[in-house]
Structure 1
Amino acid sequence: MRPEDTPRPAQARRPTVREAFLRLMRDLGIDTVFGNPGSTELAMFRDFPEDFRYVLGLQESVVVGMADGYAQATRNAAMVNLHSAAGVGHAMGNIFTAYKNQTPLIVTAGQQARSILPFDPFLSATQATELPRPYVKWACEPARAEDVPLALLRAYQMAMQPPCGPVFLSIPADDWERPTDWVAVRHVSRATAPDPASIAQVAQALTHSSRPAIVVGAGVDRDAAVERVVELAERHQATVYAAPMSARCGFPERHALFRGFLPAMRERIVQSLEGHDLILVLGAPVFIYHVEGEGPHVPNGAQLWQVVDDPQTAAWTPAGNSVVSSIHLAVDALLAGPGPAQPRSAPAARAAVAPAEPSMPMSVAYALQTLDAVRHADDVVVEEAPGSRGVMQACLPMDGAETFYTMASGGLGHGMPAAVGVALARQRLGRPGRVIGLIGDGSSLYAIQALYSAAQLGVPVTFVILNNRRYAALQDFAPVFGYAPGVKPAGTDLPALDFVALAKGHGLPGHRVEQPQELAAALEQALHHSGPCLIELVVA
């Protein structure tokens, strides 16, 4: 018998790219795809498995916003599927927000078939990996179809590695049926421990300071360190402030040590922190500014330490010293250190906010104080009402971990779909309470299609629309840029919007409230609704 005639053992069939991709998603704990499909994505979803869920968004920015909220609430990367170059272009605003939010997203986009890419075909993406940059941590169009599952594993590890953020995969439409190999999940440590010598210096500074301040940012909640930071602040009787533009709640705002929110203006930050000899910033940059300023970045004579998980942030910080670390590990190290060298008295109490009086039209303060009175302790707020944010911070205090989400980018169109994503995640995890989507009238229209997704999913979310019939943030900010008092920037009035009609058109019940005496009952009804609903509050 010739050697070539010897029977060979049967080889197991190699999986297709689709099979290996989907099994790897399962192994990574991802069974939900947020998408708005096009022709170049159809091959990916043929024979879509029954144990997976496809969440449809009617516009690509809505898709990314929902995935952002879902990923933050589940603390795992979310899968997004977009359509070639046009879909990625539509989604870029919320990809930018996800990057600023440090949200782990795996953004995939269909590409035309490899066989016709040399001919610049219809619906192809030229230089596909360049389009989402610089607002993704990594972008790849695999060189071979067989490499797509490996690229997914690398994308997941990159998205989840601190600082977390979105990544991007461009996948040609004819890759999915090609044979490949199974890919096994590998453990990669994600937590970054602080340098022992540096964190010891921070501990000594805390011990010997006479009036320390702690400034908390979104990283405290992202790293599940809120309770640890409360313990640290109480041990040192430290005054606590929220960092400018913080997108999460890093400290319970009713706590006796909490003193409010730092503005995004250099001189006012220095004024707020005056008198503190040590400023410890946790999970936030030092500092985010919104307008030009001058002078020092912190009060003269104050020692500054910053703890962040992003070395880029540590590099550009204009003052003080930085420790690159996961926040929970850094705070654990500080809690293992000594307490104050000398007893400290508690800081002076924060001034109470006066109750707002009913009026016609209602003030935002009255509306939000009423909302605070009727909401349930388990309810979560997802906010995008920048014109009312200062009032919200005074009248609608958040209670700590996983109670508040907003956009770190300043870009509109995130809050409404993110509320759907957070509600979907909390429903999936079996957590009580509702999500309150607190949205400005102007902000809502950047992603109003999120109402449709909320209706189809049946998620427990109440959209509270603050209708002041204008882009309030722009009008209120205009004097900073030289506008005379009372002069409105062009294009900043929003008359004649009907949010009840918009809600009903997308499949949700809606209710409009103008009379202050009707507000409490209407809010209670909206917050006890079995599914998604919308309530429009006409405010001054």
Structure 2
Amino acid sequence: MQQQVVDTRNDTVTETVTVREAVFRLLREFGMTSVFGNPGSTELPMFMDFPEDFRYVLGLQECVVVAMADGHAQATHNAAFINLHSAAGVGHAMGNIFTAYRNQTPLVITAGQQARSILPFEPFLGSTQAAELPRPYVKWSVEPARAEDVPLAIARAYYIAMTPPRGPVLVSIPSDDWAVRTLPVAARQVSRALRPDPETLAAIANALDAARAPAIVVGAAVDRDGAWAEAVELAERHQARVYVAPMSGRCSFPEDHPLWAGFLPAMRERIVERLAGHDLVFALGAPAFTYHVEGNGPHLPEGAALVQMTDDPQVAAWAPTGTAAICSIRLGLVDLLAQSAPPQRPAPPTHVRPGRVAEPPAGERLSVDWVLQTLSDVRPRDSIVVEEAPSARSTMHGHLPIFASETFYTMASGGLGWSLPAAVGVALGKPGTRVIALIGDGSAMYAIQALWSAVRLGLPIMVVILNNRRYAALHEFARIFGYRHDDPVPGTDLPDLDFVGLAAAQGMRGLRVDRAEALRPALMEGLQSSGPLLIEVEVR
């Protein structure tokens, strides 16, 4: 039976709909017709009469669900919609919610909640203070006071998630809300791109023009905001060397460009060493700077000044020094290019990449640098690499260059278990594109269930597992705390993991490579496969 009420927002008579109908209408208007989830009892009422034009993307654990949605959101430039189970389900997801927060990925997360009618009785599966559970790693979190307010809450969540700095939001929804009748909510057009104020921009332009040897440090926000071409144009105009910010989750400058200068380490003293000789540092879409270990001394080389362009007010606030413009990176660069007119400068020295490595002798375990060099040789330039192999990261910087916008993704949080399921989401969001998931053996085990989702979705993903049989990154990092090279590090050995067997158990074909002559044919097969293929590479 149809029901009508007077809409006090505009004094018109409007037909009411169920909360379920209102939410799916709204999601359709927002372009979010994929629901990433792992169902539980408190979510079942949402999916009655599930719309035929929607797709449910099943992950076998909540951390997998969030990372798949994160990859999809980054690939499509739109927020992804997630449905999690109450309490424990959100808890399972928190690791990758934290990563989405650090990645600045827009996610609209709904979490089931027990029925309002029994919440006073501390029911089984009830979430106590549901809106507080995911904080501080969501931009906004709410459990609406009334069932009728759920569609408005989801609309608000979407606008907040999509406003820079983008990020995840959460709406907790009691299970008996979905059948309540309410007014429909229409999607609105909300402008989100902010231009820099002219005065600050002029100061940055003047500093760049006056610099003797400027350096640009690019971060993930350049690629996220579609400002790749503008960043290249700015660097070329100023003959500025371009460094990659520490722990950047995207590639924001072509690594075969003559002005590309390599990656900055996450250590204060080392950053100062690398930037020596520059009198101006322009942090572009990046913090200044991300550190991983305690450091001492100045944040910049002696005599160098800092200017910054960021879409994140918090990043501008905690920067230790310098002038900062808070704005859309792309719009800020467009305006900066219209103002900046530097004098002719000589081209700086080009960055020297590591030389090619020789093929390992027969019978010897493969080296990571040779494996990545071979992968670089055979992969298409526009293929997408989604990486989570911490111990191979520095080697990848030397032997697996990235050339194009939106062809590299990794987690900016340091939390493992993101990249394998994120590769599934990226492949889902960019149909027909070849996706390479480059994963360490330790990282893979945090979210190995993602293989099942890749198989069910039939995605063209090549999963390359670098199996060194330990948490190798911890062995390297231990030296910072005084461990000697041969000191044991407890809890870091990972013997006897069979990734080909794990893949087969989830329906995915796998190959094991432990000889040099077998690597290239295996990689070529993976790059040409119409569906997912796992390649386990034994490395030393």
- TM-score, normalised on structure 2? 0.96
The equivalent residue for 1:389 is 393
The equivalent residue for 1:357 is 358
What CA distance in whole angstroms lies between the structure 2 residues aligned with 1:372 and 1:204? 40
Cα deviation for residue 347 of structure 1 reads 1.0
What CA distance in whole angstroms lies between the structure 1 residues aligned with 2:64 and 2:340? 48
What CA distance in whole angstroms lies between the structure 1 residues aligned with 2:187 and 2:15? 21
Contact 1:74 1:425 in 2 (8 A): yes
Superposed CA offset, 1:191-220 (max 9, x none): 111111001111111111111100000000
Cα deviation for residue 517 of structure 1 reads 1.3
What CA distance in whole angstroms lies between the structure 2 residues aligned with 1:362 and 1:423? 29
1:344 equivalenced with 2:358 (yes/no): no
Contact 2:14 2:183 in 1 (8 A): no
**Counterpart of 2:172 in 1: which secondary structure?**
strand
What CA distance in whole angstroms lies between the structure 1 residues aligned with 2:133 and 2:249? 26
Contact 1:214 1:240 in 2 (8 A): yes
What CA distance in whole angstroms lies between the structure 2 residues aligned with 1:518 and 1:533? 15
What CA distance in whole angstroms lies between the structure 2 residues aligned with 1:365 and 1:77? 36
1:372 equivalenced with 2:372 (yes/no): no
The equivalent residue for 1:75 is 77
1:185 equivalenced with 2:194 (yes/no): no
The equivalent residue for 1:23 is 25
Within 5 Å, which residues of 2 pair with 1:194-209? 194-209=196-211
The equivalent residue for 2:51 is 49
What CA distance in whole angstroms lies between the structure 1 residues aligned with 2:102 and 2:179? 36
1:296 equivalenced with 2:298 (yes/no): yes
**Counterpart of 2:182 in 1: which secondary structure?**
coil
Superposed CA offset, 1:280-301 (max 9, x none): 0111100000001100001111
The equivalent residue for 2:478 is 478
Within 5 Å, which residues of 2 pair with 1:388-537? 388-427=392-431, 432-537=432-537
Cα deviation for residue 321 of structure 1 reads 1.9
Cα deviation for residue 339 of structure 1 reads 2.2
**Counterpart of 1:125 in 2: which secondary structure?**
coil
Q: Tell me the amino acid that sits aligned with residue 420 of structure 2.
A: M
Contact 2:510 2:534 in 1 (8 A): yes
Identity of aligned residues (%): 63
**Counterpart of 2:387 in 1: which secondary structure?**
strand
Say what the alpha-carbon RMSD is for the aligned residues.
Answer: 0.9
What CA distance in whole angstroms lies between the structure 1 residues aligned with 2:370 and 2:411? 24
Superposed CA offset, 1:167-192 (max 9, x none): 00000000011010011112211111
Superposed CA offset, 1:7-59 (max 9, x none): xxxx7641100000000000111100000000000000011011000000000
Contact 1:376 1:433 in 2 (8 A): no
What CA distance in whole angstroms lies between the structure 2 residues aligned with 1:106 and 1:12? 27
1:66 equivalenced with 2:71 (yes/no): no
What CA distance in whole angstroms lies between the structure 1 residues aligned with 2:323 and 2:442? 40
Superposed CA offset, 1:308-367 (max 9, x none): 1111111111122211111001111111013212x2111112113211122221100000
The equivalent residue for 2:10 is none
Superposed CA offset, 1:214-265 (max 9, x none): 0000000010001110011011100000000000001001111001000000
What CA distance in whole angstroms lies between the structure 1 residues aligned with 2:320 and 2:381? 39
The equivalent residue for 1:6 is none
What CA distance in whole angstroms lies between the structure 2 residues aligned with 1:338 and 1:183? 45
The equivalent residue for 1:283 is 285
Q: Tell me the amino acid that sits aligned with residue 167 of structure 1.
A: V
Contact 2:353 2:398 in 1 (8 A): no
The equivalent residue for 1:131 is 133
What CA distance in whole angstroms lies between the structure 1 residues aligned with 2:187 and 2:121? 37
Q: Tell me the amino acid that sits aligned with residue 358 of structure 2.
A: E
Within 5 Å, which residues of 2 pair with 1:88-237? 88-237=90-239
The equivalent residue for 1:269 is 271
Contact 2:15 2:183 in 1 (8 A): no
What CA distance in whole angstroms lies between the structure 2 residues aligned with 1:234 and 1:180? 56
Contact 1:419 1:437 in 2 (8 A): yes
What CA distance in whole angstroms lies between the structure 1 residues aligned with 2:48 and 2:385? 37
Contact 1:478 1:488 in 2 (8 A): no
* CA pair 133-12 structure 1, distance change in 2 beyond 3 A: closer
Bigger Cα displacement from structure 2, 481-490 vs 50-59: 481-490
What CA distance in whole angstroms lies between the structure 2 residues aligned with 1:456 and 1:49? 20
Contact 1:21 1:149 in 2 (8 A): yes
Superposed CA offset, 1:452-484 (max 9, x none): 000000111110000011101001111101112
The equivalent residue for 1:323 is 325
**Counterpart of 2:95 in 1: which secondary structure?**
helix
Q: Tell me the amino acid that sits aligned with residue 294 of structure 1.
A: N
What CA distance in whole angstroms lies between the structure 2 residues aligned with 1:480 and 1:352? 26
Q: Tell me the amino acid that sits aligned with residue 308 of structure 1.
A: T
Q: Tell me the amino acid that sits aligned with residue 440 of structure 1.
A: G
Q: Tell me the amino acid that sits aligned with residue 498 of structure 1.
A: D
Q: Tell me the amino acid that sits aligned with residue 182 of structure 1.
A: P
Contact 2:470 2:493 in 1 (8 A): yes
Contact 1:307 1:324 in 2 (8 A): yes
**Counterpart of 1:177 in 2: which secondary structure?**
coil
- TM-score, normalised on structure 1? 0.96
**Counterpart of 1:128 in 2: which secondary structure?**
coil
Bigger Cα displacement from structure 2, 315-324 vs 464-473: 315-324
What CA distance in whole angstroms lies between the structure 1 residues aligned with 2:14 and 2:337? 55
1:539 equivalenced with 2:536 (yes/no): no
The count of residues paired between Structure 1 and Structure 2 equals: 525
The equivalent residue for 1:4 is none
What CA distance in whole angstroms lies between the structure 2 residues aligned with 1:458 and 1:132? 32
